[in-house]
Every structure is written in structure tokens, then in C-alpha cells.
Structure 1
Amino acid sequence: MADNNKKLAVSILQFLKESTTNDSDSAESIQVAVECIRDVFGVDEKDTSLQVSTPLSTIFENYLNNNTSASTTSTTTTTTKKSKEELLEKAYSEIPAELLDSFKQFINIIEQKGAFNNPDQIEPVLNASKQKFIESKKNEIKAIAEKIKVEGNNKLNEGDTKGALECYNKAILYDDSNAIYFANRGATYATLKMYNEAISDCKEAIKRNPKYGKAYNRMGSAYASLGSYEEAIDAYQKAVDIEPNNETFKASLSAAQKFAQNGEEEDNGMGGLGNIPGMPDLSGIDINGLMSNPMIRNMANQFMQNPQMAESLKNGDIGSMLNNPEVLNMMKMFGKK
């Protein structure tokens, strides 16, 4: 598929060079387009391995001839071509605000050189130019995306899930190679009870970093929230395989295994704690959603650093856990008032 794309790019380059006229302005515009396509696809039209025997213009003419009869007997659907202003607005929306003025100056320069004189070439030239600009500002854009990610983390800690989601969306728009951005957005989706979206984002994170234990753990939590305990166990197990000393991952795996074995899906992870005398009523609390909050997870992680607590959870010794004042206070915080 990649070779075919390069062959198509070379065919377009050959067509553009054949279309060069004696008019200096038109020639310069075409040369700008040629250079952009070369840069974006990394091709050279002189490379014989990428040249095809039939010119692009001939292929196009044959296509039109073969489809003439069909087009005259069927209803014609007209596709509205976007104006230059609409295309520019879309391109501007995909550039960080900090670099937008610089990008606009870049666009003005190539426009002055006649790059947009041919209406049919505006979109491909603009896309190629945008890609070239992004590549030239790669490090700056990554730094901006990281800053936005941190802002998203802060919003999520403050309970502003909508704001956090917007930040992670923007961070991914600017740098979709970062696994952490997808994992964090997945955690936000889980907080919003959008578990399928959370699973999808965790998978995207794992594609970018197959050794990302936290992504597997978050995916396991989303599967557990959907009651898909076998899938949750598989995800948790992979998290443990990556980080065998992570007590949180091991506790999550153990809990999922017990739910799958005992069929306690309807308990929502509380094991009936809502009916224990002297305890707050926790039966209506969405524990899975609650644990998606980084602040709550940090509190739970601190408890898990206590070997006695970890052992109690591992053995299912709920009684010992309830004797711990810190656990009791935390549970009362989230009980119904």
C-alpha cells in the first residue's frame, strides 16, 4: 500500500512537470507544489521503480470514458468543493495557538508565490504545506501537547472531567504518538462511565507502548465496570506480567478473579458493605467510577503500600481492613449523608 501511494505521488509529480507553462508565475506555483509533494511522500520522480507505464492523464481519460454512459443514466451527485477560506480555517484549527501566527506567515509566503492560483490544487498544496510546517516545529508541538496534558491532569484531579477531556483531545490532536495521552483520556472516559471508549483508548495506548502496564490496568478496570470479568482478568494479568511487583495491579487481578468465580457482578465491588451496621451506606456509590479519579487512586495506593493492608485485600479479609481507622474514615467520606 505504501509503495502504491508513492507511485501515485510520482505520477502526480510527472503530470505537474508536464503541465509547466512558459508563464513564470504558473511555473513557480507548480514548482512549489512539486517540492511539497516530494517532501511529504519522500519520493523522486526520477526513481524508475516508482514510475508506471501509463501517464496519469491517460488513466484519468480512460476512467472518464468508461464511466460516461453510467453518469448520463444515473442521478448526478454534486460534491460541493470547499472554499479556500474554509480549508484555511480547518488547517488553522489543527495548529497550536502558540504557533498559529508563524503558520499564517508561512501560508502567506507560499500564497504570494502563487501556490493557490489553481483552485483544484489549493487543498493538496495546503495539506502538504501544513504537514511540512508541523514537521519543522515537531519538538515545539510536542512540548505544547505535554503542557496541555498536564493541564488535563489538573482538571481531572479537580473533578472537571469535561475540561480534562478537552485537554486530552487537544494533546492527541497535536501529538498522537504519545501513549500516556490516550491512557489518560481513557481514564477520563471511565470517570464519565464511557467504558467502551475507555477500552478503545487503552488499546491505542498499548499500540504505542506495549509495555505500558497502567494502560492494561485501566483497560481491566473498564472491562470490570462492564461486567466483562474474563477480559478484565486478561488485561490485569498482562499488567502484572509487565510490573510483577506492583501491588495495585496484583490486587486488581485478585479482585477480578474472585468476582468471576463468585458471580458478584451486582455487588459493584463492595461485597455488601452497604449493609454492615455502623458503616455508611455505600450501596449507591459507583466505586469503579470513583477509583478513576486520580486523587482517590492516590489515596488507595497509599493504603496499598501497607503490607498488612495488601495482604488483607489479597486474602479477602474484609474484617481486618475495616479495623483500620484510615480505611473507615475514607469510606465514611464517600457514604451517603
Structure 2
Amino acid sequence: MSFEKRLAASIVQYLGDQLRSDDLTGEDKEGLEVAIQCLETVYRISSSDVHLLPSRSLVDIFKDAIKNEPIGKDTDEPVSEEDRREAEYLKTRGNDLMKVEQYKDALDSYTKAIKLDPKNAVFYCNRAAAYSKLNQHTFAIEDCRRAIEIDPNYSKAYGRMGLAYANLNNHHLARENYKKALELDPNNDSYASNLKVAEDNIAELERTNPFSTILQNPAIAQVAEGILQDPNMQNMVRDMMSNVFGSLAGGGRPGAPPGAPSGAPSGVPSGAPSGIPNLQSNFPPAGDAGSGAPPTGPGGLPTDPLSGFNLDTMMNIGQQLARQFENMNPELYDQIRRNVGGNGANPPNDNNNSNNNP
């Protein structure tokens, strides 16, 4: 019995308790139900697995863990001179630890400095460098953004965020951040060099795989975000996902013939708390998902998760996405269509990830 499964069971129990709270809206409770369903599916657990639960609740364990843990200062609270001096000392100690490649200890020092002085952009930016050295580039990006919120003209934060994006192979966003860093610090040779590397990587991606560079384009991401905020599109995606999760819960699939398990809400076991289906108990034996259903493996999950999708539904969603994309940004839509059409005959190249990351 793994630690992860026991922890997941404790989280499910806590979320189930929250569902009974009168402080949550119906939408909030729906979100918790989805979270519980996902956890139960991923970790192969159910509400009946009480043997996985520790003797104390997750809330009690957490309270004990943080009782001696000081809460960081509120960003609106003035920082005393004593705290400011201590924070500077911790930052300097973190810098020294970075020089001897003690990155985890350096990260701890920067974190303590931030707790004492949460308005200092340098502390976040330095911690971002430690995160990058530990290959935790997503956290590095988050800290760079915090630094920029405090000081929008902090060139080093843009430069380090560019490095983090480059290490995640998102060369478009790396280029945007290097450009901003160079705009704020025009004489910085490192920013200029890194910008050139990012542009070379983008050019190589466009040459070998035009579709991959389209997906990285920040303008595409902005349009996609706008599409996903559209209520009609949200309802369509929600319906599709409900169908998918429902079919997995019941062992069937979208578009399965009559008689195949549907996983509909009516199949929720009467003993399941908070109205959550016991997904594990509903899974059929391997290979027995119903007449016409795709081949299944252990737990009754399809061996090919895409085999059961209804093609008409997917085509309909794709067409609506394309129409919304064209309406929101027709120039960008035409540009993408021309690029894809003009490069479609190029053979795929698996070696399109440059190793020249700065």
C-alpha cells in the first residue's frame, strides 16, 4: 500500500467533508465532485477504502504541521528595519550557496527572506534562479512574474523568465522575454545573445515543423484563451468531458451501441457518500466493456483511449473552434492557414529541438 494512495484517500475524505459545507455554491461543489472523481480514478481508490485512512484527519495532521510554522508577512504590512536587515542577510547567504552549487539550501534562504520582506523583487528573482538550477522551471517563471509585478522595469526578471521558457522549449515566450529584458537593458550582451539563440530555435522549428511553432505563438495562446472563455464553447467541452468520464466510470464509451454500459448518473452506488460514483467498483473485467466497445485492459479502461470517441462530435468541436478563431482574429487565421498549407508537404523531422538553449 503506497504512501501516495493513502494521501489521496485522505484528500478525498477531506473534499467529501467540504461538500457538506453550506458555505460552498453549487458550482463549487460540482468542482469538488470532479476532483474527487479524478483522484479516485487515478489512484484506484474509492470511498469504501477506509483502511487506507490514518487515525487522524488530514486537517488535524496539517494543523500540527504548521503550528510552529510562521506565516509570511502580508504584502501590505510594513517591513521593520530588523526584518529588512535579516532578509538581506538571508539573500546574501543564498547567493553564497548558489556559488557553491547548494541550490536547495539557497532556495530555502531566499524563501525565508521573502517571508520577512515579500515586497522585494530581487528575492523572488534570485529564488527563480535557484528553481531553474533545480530544473523546476515552472516555479521559476512564477517567481519572475511576482518580481515583475513588484518592479515592472526589472530586466533581470525578464531575462531569467526567458531562460526558464527556453529550458521548457517554449522559444516564442523566451524570445518575448529576452526582447523586453534587452529593451530595459540595451547594453546587456547576455540578453542579446540569448535572444539570437531563441530566434534561431524558432526559425529551425518553422523550417522543420511549422505546426509546433504555431502552437507556441503567444498570439495563438491569447486567442485560444478567449475561445475557452466563451460560454457556448465551455458548455460543449463540458458535455464532451462528462460523456468521456461517464463512459469510463461505466466501462462504456461515447458512441457505443445500445446495451453498452453508459456510466450515467443513475449508476451511482447508493452507498457512495456525497453522490460520487465508486469508479473502481464500476469497472468491468478486462476485455468485457460491452458489445462493440474498444479493447480494454486491467480495470476495464480502454487500451486505446481515443478509440471510443465519436468522430462527428470531435469534428463539430473542431469546426466551431476554427470559426471562433477566424472571427476573433481573421488575419492570424489566414496566416496560419497559409503557413500550414504551404509547408504541409514537408516531411516531419524528429530532430527539431535544438540543444542550443542558453
Quick one: higher RCO (CA 8 Å, sep 6+), 1 or 2? 2
TM over 0.5: no
TM-score calculated relative to the size of structure 1: 0.42
Q: Which has the larger radius of gyration?
A: 1
Write 1 or 2 for the structure with the bigger share of helix: 1
TM-score calculated relative to the size of structure 2: 0.39
